[in-house]
Amino acid sequence: MAGFVTRYQKSRYWALWDGNELVAVVLYKKGATELLRRLAAQLPAAAAAAAQAAAVEAAAQQAQALAALACALARQAQAAAEAARTRAQPAREAGAAGG
């Protein structure tokens, strides 16, 4: 937050500004500067929380993609096993009929 503190109009109050936006009006200048300090300290924490949420979302999407890939591989394995069984079945029947 690139804020600053000024007198609020022609009163004894102090205004805390963020650019052209009035954030707060307080009685004491010391309170205004403390509020500015605390708001500035919250911005990095909020940015870190947003970055963490984005990372969690990306990880969830990656997990879904991996799960879909695992399902596709499982279907391919089942199809390959079924094909192997059907190829082996005529040989078993021929062995049983000849024996």
**3-class SS string, 68-88:** HHHHHHHHHHHHHHHHHHHHH
% of the chain beyond a pLDDT of 70: 90
Q: What is the pLDDT of residue 94?
A: 66
φ, ψ of residue 5 to 5 degrees: the values are -115, 135
Specify the amino acid at residue 17.
W
Q: What is the pTM of this model?
A: 0.45
Domain residue limits at 23? 3-98
Q: How many CB atoms lie within 10 A of CB 14?
A: 20
Helix (H, G, I), strand (E, B), or coil: what is residue 27?
Answer: coil
Domain count, the chain: 1
Q: What is the pLDDT of residue 41?
A: 83
